[in-house]
Amino acid sequence: MATSFFEGPEKKVEWVVVDGFPSLRSLGDERWEGIVRAARAQIISKLSSERCDAYLLSESTLLVYDEHATLITCGRTRLVDAVECALETIPPQAIAFLVLERKNEHFPREQPTDFATDARRLSELLPGRALRFGAEHSHAIELFHTLRPYEPDAEDTTLEVLMHGIAEAANPFRGDGGSDALARARSVGLGNVIPGFAVDDHAFTPAGYSLNALRGPHYFTFHVTPEDVGSYASFETNVDHRADPELVLRVVEPFRPQAFDVFAYAPDGEALSLEVPGYVLHQHVTAPVCGYGVSFLHFCRPAAGATGATPIALG
Amino acid sequence: MATSFFEGPEKKVEWVVVDGFPSLRSLGDERWEGIVRAARAQIISKLSSERCDAYLLSESTLLVYDEHATLITCGRTRLVDAVECALETIPPQAIAFLVLERKNEHFPREQPTDFATDARRLSELLPGRALRFGAEHSHAIELFHTLRPYEPDAEDTTLEVLMHGIAEAANPFRGDGGSDALARARSVGLGNVIPGFAVDDHAFTPAGYSLNALRGPHYFTFHVTPEDVGSYASFETNVDHRADPELVLRVVEPFRPQAFDVFAYAPDGEALSLEVPGYVLHQHVTAPVCGYGVSFLHFCRPAAGATGATPIALG
């Protein structure tokens, strides 16, 4: 790779512990820092509500609740190493449900492992199965989940929006990590995409922006990779997207992506349908996963006219 | 990779020799076999017209004319090794024009090299530059070409159609390489997509189908990878596509791909515009390359409804 790039598309793991297991929040910052370091990332800051500790990481986000945790990492991190590290503290029999996701990367040859290798390692610790949502020639999410019977809470939804090709809208996030950079990034107003949340955000050097937001039991998080090659932004929330049909539109609008995925979990096996003005739904995949209906929708924007080719440095 | 797959998307090199250089056809079968072997492929059969020798390969096609040659290979072949081998016979100063293309692969981690590495190796032999047609998060063709001034003939067009996600239409190509398999593949009628051509075709074991067709100075070629994971078919011709606006439609129709690219060269820098019923144009990139107008168009089919997720074997 002669061209400078950052791998924005994330790996994600979420696990829920069985009833009666001690609070995951009580593990403390130091233990969580060790788990994050196992993935080759670092904790930058922490925002807490009465229900959740949201850690902003050098590569994305860690959310810790009493009974469940979500770790999202990007770049060249090794997320499965962090799961192995966590399972030294949390015995596998205390895991009620675990799911690992990997979005197909922009630069897969630069990754230390592929999804199948990650999933096989996890399956040696926790019996599970793997699924691909989306076509192997296009955008896709690969997912590993445990097989233990599990019933999600009636309010337990997750919405992810993964946006590719945001170079047109990435200028405010191309700062150098200084205070001006943070002010420019904040001017986009991502912290208000759902009102009333406390916000913790960070502008990275040489570029990039991350934001965690909390309101009681609810979170949302943005991560922006503004580099021309591999430009990308992601959003995730546990606010009930079924009650806010305009939410995806509000998330997508500031980034004007060439293409984006919506990946959603809803209890009771409910599948998501969605139309987004200005975009064509190219892929729509749904499957039941441990009591959730999981839906993958890939949207792409029709070409507005011909553009030029992109030079590739050979130096 | 636990899942069985074949990498259909091709690498391609075309070169033209300077006026006065001996006929490339006169190099003879043995020398060409050595060049093909350098890429880790083999010659299966040969079809000749008064102007061209068309070799069907274990991985795609070699077309040899007096003054130019096109070598297309798929799978895990090492096409740049074949170029280095050819340049032992054809000195670099005898190369009037050379272009290398690589479609982004379904399984890039399984490839021995990436495009940038290939292009850097070529640039040490022949001064050149590299371009990407298409977005790095989506379908794209990366291209290296020489910098020497070059003027294409007025009739010198190329049309490539690269079709992804053809599993629905791949049954006739899922044979075992026997005579029934060949008859089933032939029943699709790919040899008649342009009438009046002599045809040389082959059904592969365990699956797959290739076809070369010649009529005087004109060729067309099909290569079909029918495996469920990574299903793919490609078409290429030097018949003037500008005079046959329905050609792309006739090529695409038997395969009903989820998505496809059109990649076209036309002399005089002319860019291609195209609409294809049932598909949305998602990417449109054009650039001048050594007197050609080169156009990349990526089309995708709107989702017709939700499908299920695909199991990934962990065995």
Model confidence band, residue B175 (pLDDT cutoffs 50, 70, 90) = confident
Chain segment A201-220, per-residue pLDDT in tens: 999 988 999 999 999 999 99
Tell me the average pLDDT of chain B: 95
Structure tokens at A158: 């997750």
Interface of B with A in 127-146 (CB under 8 A): 128-133, 135-139, 142-143
Chain segment B199-243, per-residue pLDDT in tens: 999 999 889 999 999 999 999 999 999 999 999 999 999 999 999
- Interchain pair B143, A309: CB under 8 A: yes
Chain segment A29-54, per-residue pLDDT in tens: 999 999 999 999 999 999 999 999 99
Chain segment A149-167, per-residue pLDDT in tens: 999 999 999 999 999 999 9
Chain segment A255-313, per-residue pLDDT in tens: 999 999 999 999 987 789 999 999 999 999 999 999 999 999 999 999 999 999 999 99
Model confidence band, residue B3 (pLDDT cutoffs 50, 70, 90) = low
B311 CB near a chain A CB, below 8 Å?
yes
- Interchain pair A123, B314: CB under 8 A: yes
**What value of ipTM does the predicted structure carry?**
0.94
The alpha-carbon gap from A133 to the nearest alpha carbon of chain B, in Å, equals: 5
Residue B269: predicted pLDDT: 76
Structure tokens at A71: 């770790």
Model confidence band, residue B290 (pLDDT cutoffs 50, 70, 90) = very high
Spatial CB neighbours of A22, under 8 Å, sequence gap ≥ 6: none
- Interchain pair B309, A287: CB under 8 A: yes
| Closest in B1, B302, B313 to A281, CB measured | B302
Q: Which helix (H) or strand (E) holds B228?
A: none
Q: How many CB pairs under 8 A join A and B?
A: 184
| Residues in chain A closer than 8 A to B136 (CB atoms) | 106-107, 229-230
The alpha-carbon gap from B300 to the nearest alpha carbon of chain A, in Å, equals: 7
Residue B2: predicted pLDDT: 42
B106 CB near a chain A CB, below 8 Å?
yes
Residue A1: predicted pLDDT: 43
Strands (E), B18-175: 43-48, 53-57, 60-64, 68-73, 95-103, 128-134, 140-146, 158-164
The answer to which of A93-102, A122-131, A159-168, B175-184 has the lowest mean pLDDT is B175-184
Chain segment B89-145, per-residue pLDDT in tens: 999 999 999 999 999 999 999 999 999 999 999 999 999 999 999 999 999 999 999
Q: What average pLDDT does the segment B63-91 reach?
A: 97
Residue A3: predicted pLDDT: 59
B310 CB near a chain A CB, below 8 Å?
yes
Backbone φ and ψ for B249, nearest 5 degrees, come out as: -60, -40
Spatial CB neighbours of B284, under 8 Å, sequence gap ≥ 6: A303, A305, A306, A307, B295, B296, B297, B298
Residue A5: predicted pLDDT: 85
The answer to whether domain B11-300 has CATH 3.60.90.10 is yes
The alpha-carbon gap from A23 to the nearest alpha carbon of chain B, in Å, equals: 32
Chain segment A59-102, per-residue pLDDT in tens: 999 999 999 999 999 999 999 999 999 999 999 999 999 999 99
3-state secondary structure labels for all residues of chain A = CCCCCCCCCCEEEEEEECCCCCCHHHHHHHHHHHHHHHCCCCEEEEEECCCCEEEEECCEEEEECCCEEEEEECCCCCHHHHHHHHHHHCCHHHEEEEEEEEECCCCHHHCCCCHHHHHHHHHHHCCEEEEEEECCCCCEEEEEEECCCCCCCCCCCEEEEEEECCHHHCHHHCCCCCHHHHHHHHCCCHHHCCCCCEEEEEECCCCCEEEEEEECCEEEEEEEECCCCCCEEEEEECCCHHHCCCHHHHHHCCCCCCEEEEEEEEECCCCCCCCCCCCEEEEEEEEEECCEEEEEEEEECCCCCCECCEEECCC
Q: Which helix (H) or strand (E) holds B106?
A: none
Interface of A with B in 144-163 (CB under 8 A): none
CA separation (Å) from A204 to A185, A207, B32, B163? 11, 5, 54, 40
Spatial CB neighbours of B178, under 8 Å, sequence gap ≥ 6: B203
Provide the sign of the torsion angle of the four alpha carbons A253, A257, A259, A260, taken in this order: negative
